[in-house]
Amino acid sequence: MNLLVVNAGSSSLKLARLDAEGAVTSATTVEAWQGEGHLEPLTAFLAGCGQVDAVGHRVVHGGPRYTGPARVDEPLVAYLSSISSLAPLHNPRAVAGLRSVRELLPDVPAVACFDTTFHATLSPAARTYAVPREWNERWGLRRYGFHGLSHAHAVRRGAELVGRPAGELRIVTCHLGAGASLAAVRGGVSVDTTMGFTPLAGLVMNTRPGTLDPGLLLWLLEHGPVPPAELGDVLEHRSGLKGLSGTSGDLREVLTGRAAGDEACVLAFDVYLHRLARETAAMTAAIGGLDLLVLTGGVGEHSWEVRAALAESLGYLGAAVDAELNRATTADADISAPGVAVRTVVVTAREDLEIRRQVSAVLG
């Protein structure tokens, strides 16, 4: 099966063609994609990429209805449009991608693959918010979790790197990029995660603050007074590493400033690591221990400083990395120190391979 993978982000459109072996034969990123109706970049890519037998779309939010990959049809597209408020930066763009590709490839089967699917296995205790039950039922309030396609691949590939079945391991996967989240995995399924109803919760990220005291937000609204629209913009685009350090929020800039003695960058990195270590320990508690720590995403794959600091903070659990291997690794590898109880591996983020797996499962 030759697969077209479509990832419509908040501003860009990523396209890739995978051959029958899962190798990427063609790929492009369309910056500033204008959405539905902006067909020229898609048309150009399809003209040169070769035969396409199926399409797999990455969709951030499947809502309460879609807890697994699904064939793209009009009811699915209409439902995703109806829940745009759950992921306003991403789901409308995904719908635009679904419609655009269907216009150009009307006879090619397409499957929507959701970032929330991996966390559909959370227990009621793990997914339920302690607010009035009527609210949860009326508005579908619950912890959904995100980055599921990345976490799913990280679990499978991480287990392969240590030569053990994923189902036998207690795993914490760390998707660390501009957005960041952790997943606690036991028996091969997600038991807990750091993001919740929206992708704002959990870890400190490039421009998002992670979990905050709700009372702080109420205080800002009532006494700041900060208008809701401004508060939303600050939480999405002006917080996290960016807000603390005064940089763009890119961790590389923060590390450069930290090395130069910039106090704001020093604090930003310390806050980032403190939250990462604390949440990793919480994920470990959720699965009753830790056998394997998997790091993926741009930071997880390339920041040896973060990997070293995290492993050191988890030393009490039996984690440690080989200093030389850690500094040298930027792709799939076991970077554990010899004889440790907890293995630490780096996995290249390949959501496209997980999408391929899910498309194959749906189409047969």
In the sheet with 343-346, reading across from the earlier edge strand, the strands are 189-193, 180-186, 170-176, 292-296, 343-346, 333-334
Residue type, 30: V
d(CA 151, CA 351): 9
Task: Report how far residue 48's alpha carbon sits from residue 341's, in angstroms, rounded to the nearest whole number.
Answer: 49
The residue written with tokens 């005291």 in the block is 213
CA distance 6 to 197: 24
338 Cβ contact list (under 8 Å, min separation 6): 322
User: Which are the contacts of 71, defined by CB distance < 8 A and separation ≥ 6?
Assistant: 109, 110, 111, 112, 362
239 CB contacts (<8 Å, ≥6 apart)? 207, 208, 209
* 270 belongs to the catalytic site: no
Collapsing DSSP to helix, strand or coil, 23 comes out as coil
DSSP codes, 129-198: -SS-HHHHHHHT-------HHHHHHHHHHHHHHHTS-GGG-EEEEEEESSSEEEEEEETTEEEEES--SS
Instruction: Tokens for 129, please give them.
Output: 């918010």
Residue closest to 108 by CA, chosen among 98, 94, 118: 98
Which of these is catalytic: 19, 115, 250, 322? 115
Residues forming the active site: 115
